[in-house]
Each structure stands twice: as C-alpha cells, then as structure tokens.
Amino acid sequence: MTEKKTVLQLAQERRSVRTYKNEPLGKEMLDSIRSRVASIHEPFGGRVSFRLLNAGASHLSSPVIRGASQYLAICAKKGENADLAAGYAGEDLILYLTGIGVGTVWIGGTMDRDAFEKAAGIKVDEVMIAVTPVGFPADKMSLRESLMRKGIKADERLKTEEIYSERSVRNIALDHETYCDAVEAVRLAPSAVNHQPWRIIHDDAGFHFFLKRSLKASGSPDMQKTDMGIALCHFCAVLDEKGQEYRTEKLPDRQEADMEYIISVIPA
C-alpha cells in the first residue's frame, strides 16, 4: 500500500494542469470526490457548492485548456466572504484531487463565464467564483501550456522572508516544524497570475493573514480574495494534519500599510 502523502507533499506536487487525456472520471472516483466534498469545512461560512459539468454536452471550453471532458464549478452564496470561502473549500478539494491523481487548475478568467454559469445553474443569490477541469493529466503539456507557464513564471515563488515575518515573538505557540511546514505550504500555493498576494505576520497573538493587492477588483469574483482563501487552506490543512488545535478569527484593529487584513490563525 502506498503511504498517504502529507499536505506539504501535496502542495509540492500540485501544479496547474491545462492539458488532459480527454477521458471522463469513473463512477468510483466521482463518488469519492462527492464524499470528500461533504466533509469540507471552511471557516468563512460561505456555503460553497461544487457542480460537475460535462464539457461536451454544455459546449464548455477555455482557450487555455486542452482535452478536458469534465469541469467543476466552484460556487458560493453571494456575500462578503464568498471569495475567501470558495478559495478555501476549492483548494481543500484540489489538494485531495492531487492526491488521487486528478489534474486541476483554477480558472477564474480565461473562460466563457456566461456559458459556465448557465451550465452550473447559478441562482440569483449565488456567485460562481471559478471553475477547474477535472481529469487525467496528458503525458505531455501542449505547447501553449508550456509557453504560458514560462510567461507567468508559474514555477517560481517568492522567498519565505518575502511572505512571512515575525514581530518580537516571545511565546511561540506552535512547534517550529509545524509552522515552518504551514508557511512553506502557503508559499507554494497557486494564485491568480502567480502574483502570490499573501503575507503572514506572526506575533504573540498568532499568525495574521494580509492581502497585498496587485490586481484590481470590483466586487466578487475577486481573484486575490480567492487566493487568500487558498493560502489559509494550505496553512490550516498542515495544522489539522499535525493535530494542532487553533481557531480562526478576525481580530479588531489589525492594520498594516498597503495591505488588507483578512483573518488570524490563533493556536490553542
């Protein structure tokens, strides 16, 4: 039996897959995905739902995707935290899919949004944040995919010290390995146009997540808020796996120049 991969291993292994084998997932796999979806808890109360879409039947395509026969639409109830919630829950599922060999890529922009929303049956009180193909990665990337990865420097990430800083930490509530792994899992996370807008400040009160915005947004979908949900998911998934107790809370009066405060992780 193969050993279960750690969250950090899954974060290292995951990459955006844009070229697929054009084979639908089997019933057993779809059932296991459904049961995983039922167990996802995200801390933003966004009531996230996933809709499985058939690309052929609904004429769905994306100019950056080749060979995908199925997609998942990642939807949430409209509201302040919809993007954060969808980012968290969507990434929880994406890490699971990575572990069972299913390729994915967050698609928030490069698609015919109207066609996907129609196929997903979006209601007036819902928002479709993004979609991802779900399928088996092709043995070779399309030329377009390799060029795109080069163009957005998809294999590069900021250095730890560029995303994480400590403020006179006297009582470190977590063991060193746990929070180093959690920060590393955040560092490797996917983000829109690979802009990596997350910043973590660690002080005696906990780990505070800030958004350093580089892309404009007007309302939802807001790709960089989605990025923040994804980052928080990676961080919390490492803590969960190591049995570390914590709570997530939006603390009052947290401010940093040029950044938007999102939420804090407070170890128990």
Ligand X SMILES: Cc1cc2nc3c(=O)[nH]c(=O)nc-3n(C[C@H](O)[C@H](O)[C@H](O)COP(=O)(O)O)c2cc1C
230 is a contact residue toward ligand X (CB under 6 A): yes
Go through the chain and tell me how many residues it has. 268
The least CB distance from residue 15 to ligand X, in Å, is 4
Q: Which of 40, 193, 205, 215 binds ligand X (CB under 6 A)?
A: 193
| Residue 194 binds to ligand X (criterion: CB under 6 A) | yes
Among residues 173 and 230, whose Cβ is nearest to ligand X? 230
Closest separation in Å from C-beta 152 to ligand X? 5
Nearest approach in angstroms of CB 64 to ligand X is: 4
Q: Which of 64, 76, 119, 259 binds ligand X (CB under 6 A)?
A: 64
Least distance from ligand X to the Cβ atom of residue 43, Å = 18
Question: What type of residue sits at position 170?
Answer: R
Taking CB atoms, the residue at the shortest distance from ligand X is: 190
Asked whether the beta carbons of 264 and 205 are under 8 A apart, the reply is: yes
Among 122, 154, 215, 266, binds ligand X (CB under 6 A): 154
- Could you tell me the two tokens for 203? 């002080």
Among 119, 223, 231, 265, binds ligand X (CB under 6 A): 223
Q: How far is CA 174 from CA 189, 193, 203, 239, in A?
A: 21, 32, 12, 9
Q: How is residue 76 written in tokens? A: 């949430």
* CA-based R_g, the chain, Å: 18
Query: Which of 16, 19, 98, 264 lies at the binding interface for ligand X (CB under 6 A)?
Result: 16
- Structure token digits, residue 147: 């060029």
Which residue type, as a one-letter code, is found at position 95? L
Cβ partners under 8 Å of residue 3, min gap 6: none
Phi then psi dihedrals of residue 71, to 5 deg: -130, 155
Check residue 107 for interaction with ligand X (CB under 6 A): yes
Amino acid at 218: S
Give me the residues that bind ligand X (CB under 6 A), please.
15-16, 64, 105-110, 130, 152, 154, 190-194, 223, 226-227, 230
